[in-house]
Amino acid sequence: MEEAEKKPTYEYNDDAIRTLPWNIHIRRRPGMYIGKLGDGTHAEDGIYVLMKEVVDNSIDEFNMGSGRRIDITLSEDGEVSVRDYGRGIPLGKVKEVASEINTGGKFDSKYFQKSVGLNGVGLKAVNAMSTECTVASFRDGQMVEVRFHQGDLVSQGAPVPTDQPNGTLVKFKPDPELFRDYRYNPEFVETMVNNYTYLNNGLQIYFNGKRYSSRHGLLDLLNENMTSEPLYPIIHLKGEDIEIVLTHTDQYGEEYYSFVNGQHTTQGGTHLAAFREAVCRTIKDFSGKGYEYNDIRNGMVGAISVRIQEPVFESQTKTKLGSKEIAPDSPVTVNKFIGDFIKKELDDYLHKHPDTAEVMMRKVARSEKERKAMAGVTKLARERAKSANLHNSKLRDCRVHYNDTLKASAKEDLRDESSIFITEGDSASGTITKARNTQTQAVFSLRGKPLNTYGLTHEIVYKNVEFNLLQAALNIEDGIDGLRYNKVIIATDADVDGMHIRLLMISFFLTFFPDLIKKGHVYVLQTPLFRVRNKKVTRRGRGKRAKKAENPEERDTYYCYTDEEREAAIAKFGANAEITRFKGLGEINEEEFAEFIGSDMRLDPVKLKKEDTVEKLLEFYMGKNTPDRQNFIINNLVVEDDSQI
């Protein structure tokens, strides 16, 4: 037998062990510190985490009774400035606080035990991931300023006299080497600012000169975020280190907001689980009936804010609470602390406000009646969904959900990147299926136009084959906690029929699963309307994939999403311009389509604002008021030539 080929030996010796500078480690492993990088398109992208890490320190100062105002300025070139009026960093430690990992004033101080910035990492991460970072401290008529580049010290000033009030100023500019083509979305920043004011009564934040404050805490939050009318006045209960609000609406599903020590835990955690269970148990006991928790929670909108000592989160970005106790070594669990408060205060409230209790009980009874009426339909529909061969018919799944070789942590990371394209027709779904990333991108194929669900009951979700199988594919029968894909992307042709399908799908989600939209999971895929290429350059390789040049000026092919982009491309190639108008997704071959659904694909998030009351919105656009809609379209039609009217 021939001797087996020997593999090269890796020399594992002293030279193999390296110690990276703190800032280089952060830049090489940014996900450990801020989650994903992103470009600012999504509210959880890294540039917002950087901003929040700085503001959190100012919030801690406010909670210590120092500084009732914070100024946040966002410049057009992406520089962020945060100025608070707290005590200011001790002048002899400004450089260390900004650049020495695990350095801070909160490790041993009982005064910061209910803070979120306990690890001494946040400001350092901001510093390391910025091209420019300036930290200035003002204390008792003296000022020290320190400047950095990518975490490396540029200059350190000695204390100098100042007439500025006490506090800290941090200015930073995210590094485009890490955050490619980034851009701050002021709407996301405004939401962040509002949340800070809801949770910190008496705090004033000025964002780009506009003042934000709140007098009623979580009550203001719910009033600003609800897009359906409450069935009864919002219940608002406060205690030491806990505040809750809740009400019911006629919408399907549930909607919650949760906070720990001022941190918006967008993925919930132990406190939100305790809140949901305690509210249902208390209402069930109050009613004296055997209501199921699902019936009690249907249509519920609520929020909870708690403060606990040294909270433990499941990641550095602090989006999900993992703490089981309200303090280290405490015998009191988060579940008991929240449960005892709600059991007493909510039960007392319902007994003292019988009119509110009566409306709540009627709502729960209606939900129970509807569920029981649908029991047979639901059972048959679920059996049909289980027996359907989704992987070979409606759904082409991605590997992250059935690859058992992946570690749990790797699966979780990929699940955050996972998406499902909802498209219409064999041609389009076939193209996307061949072009997609099979690891993280799934495809669900519709057959023709879906049903207009406006005015229909939840029963239609189970009786309609398309919607039943889609619900099963998304795994949202019992709420969006089990959602299998982070992004639900509606991918249709950019024509009248495609637009109609988009509206029908958005109406379906708004009617039965509004929290999918409110939590930022639903998007519309932008696809190019035109391809403009240089005939002189590309004639030799018609069937080959057009390569993108490193320098945009050297490209021989442009995919254009607007008429303006098309005209610019035509001007680039002049007489050599060859123009192709894409009428549908099926006309774009899979090699081209791969260009449009990669990591930089263009997505329009479907969003709801306070003024977008769901019922009125759906009634106008999807109801039977055809003449009103026609008049609206005519009055708002924009055409280039009046003769077209």
Contact residues for 635 (Cβ-Cβ < 8 A; gap 6+): none
Q: What is the mean pLDDT of residues 575-602?
A: 82
Instruction: Give CA–CA dist 439/252, Å, rounded.
Output: 32
Between 585 and 282, the more confident residue is: 282
For residue 210, is pLDDT > 90? yes
Cβ-based neighbour number of residue 211 at 10 Å = 10
Residue 282 vs residues 144, 204, 297: alpha-carbon distances, Å = 55, 36, 12
Q: Which of 256-265, 294-303, 473-482 has the lowest average pLDDT?
A: 473-482
Least confident of 269-278, 366-375, 621-630: 621-630
End-to-end CA distance of the chain: 85
Query: Which residues, including other chains, have CB under 8 Å from residue 3's CB and lie 6 or more apart?
Result: none
Q: Which two tokens stand for residue 528?
A: 């190019």
Q: Which helix H or strand E contains 34, and what residues bound it?
A: helix 31-34
Mean pLDDT across the chain, nearest whole number? 83
391-527+604-629 has which CATH code? Answer: 3.40.50.670
Distance, C-alpha 167 to centroid of its chain = 32
Whether pLDDT at 132 is above 80: yes
Residue range 104-114: average pLDDT? 57
Taking residues 524-530, report their average pLDDT. Answer: 87
- Three-class secondary structure of residue 587 per DSSP: helix
Structure tokens at 563: 């008429």
- Write the CB contacts of 408 (distance below 8 Å, at least 6 apart in sequence): none
Query: What are the structure tokens assigned to 27, written together?
Result: 């830049």
Domain boundaries, the chain: 22-212, 218-373, 391-527+604-629, 530-581
**pLDDT value at position 142?**
95
- pLDDT, one tens digit per residue, over 302-361 is 999 999 888 887 765 677 888 888 888 788 899 999 999 999 999 999 999 999 999 999
Q: Which two tokens stand for residue 181?
A: 């083509």
Q: What span, in angstroms and rounded, lies between the C-alpha atoms of 364 and 248?
A: 9
Flag whether pLDDT at 151 surpasses 80.
yes
Alpha helices in 306-439 (DSSP H): 334-352, 354-373, 375-387, 408-417, 426-435
Average of pLDDT values for 567-593? 84
- Residue 451 is predicted with a pLDDT of 84
Instruction: Give the rounded distance of the alpha carbon of 419 from its chain centre.
Output: 14
Between strands 204-207 and 210-212, the pairing is antiparallel
Rounded average pLDDT over 115-123: 65
Q: Which residues have CB under 8 Å from 546's CB, separation 6+?
A: 533, 538, 556, 557, 592
pLDDT above 60: residue 641: no
C-alpha to C-alpha distances, 323 to 268, 307, 308, 326, 454, nearest whole angstrom = 12, 12, 9, 7, 42
Amino acid at the residue 639: V
Q: How far apart are CA 572 and CA 175, in angstroms?
A: 31
Say which CATH topology domain 218-373 has: Ribosomal Protein S5; domain 2 (3.30.230)
Tokens for 142, please give them: 């003296």
- Alpha carbon distance 450, 638 (integer Å): 28
The encoded tokens of residue 618 equal 């759906």
Q: What is the mean pLDDT of residues 203-227?
A: 93
CA 356/CA 137 separation, integer angstroms: 51
Question: Which sign does the torsion angle of CA 315, 316, 317, 319 carry?
Answer: positive
Six-digit token pair at 453? 């669900």
Paired with 534 in beta bridges are 577
Model pLDDT, residue 636: 63
| 568-590 mean pLDDT | 84
Q: Looking at residue 359, what is its pLDDT? A: 96
Whether 461 has a pLDDT exceeding 80, the answer reads: no
The pLDDT value recorded for residue 109 is: 54
The whole-angstrom distance between residue 262's C-alpha and the CA centroid of its chain comes to 18
Cα–Cα distance measured from residue 628 to residue 211, given in angstroms and rounded to the nearest whole number: 39
Residue 640 is predicted with a pLDDT of 45
| pLDDT of 110 above 70 | no
Residue 396: predicted pLDDT: 87
Lowest mean pLDDT among 75-89, 244-258, 447-461, 528-542: 528-542
What's the pLDDT score for residue 34?
Answer: 82
Write down the pLDDT at residue 413.
Answer: 58
| Strands 419-424 vs 441-446: parallel, antiparallel or unpaired | parallel
User: Which of 175-179, 547-551, 606-610, 616-620 is least confident?
Assistant: 547-551
Q: How big is the CA angle at 44 (ends 421 and 223), to the nearest 5 degrees?
A: 95
Q: Are 197 and 56 in contact (CB under 8 A)?
A: no
CATH topology of domain 22-212: Heat Shock Protein 90 (3.30.565)
Burial category of 63 from C-beta neighbours within 10 Å (exposed 0-12, middle 13-18, buried 19 and up): buried
What is the SS3 assignment for 259?
strand
Question: In degrees, to the nearest 5, what angle opens at C-alpha 121 toward C-alphas 115 and 122?
Answer: 70
Highest mean pLDDT among 230-244, 396-410, 546-560: 230-244
Question: Dihedrals φ, ψ of 286, to 5°?
Answer: -65, -40
- Pick the range with the lowest mean pLDDT from 64-78, 135-149, 270-284, 437-451: 437-451
Rounded distance, CA 57 to CA 83, Å? 11
Comparing CA positions, the residue from 319, 451, 473 lying closest to residue 393 is 473
Asked whether the predicted pLDDT for residue 191 surpasses 70, the reply is: yes
Instruction: State residue 107's pLDDT score.
Output: 52
pTM tops 0.85, yes or no? no
Positive/negative CA dihedral, 349, 352, 355, 357: positive
How remote is the C-alpha of 281 from its chain's centroid?
30
User: Would you place residue 118 in the very low, low, confident or very high pLDDT band (cuts 50, 70, 90)?
Assistant: very low
Residue bearing the bigger pLDDT, 6 or 349: 349
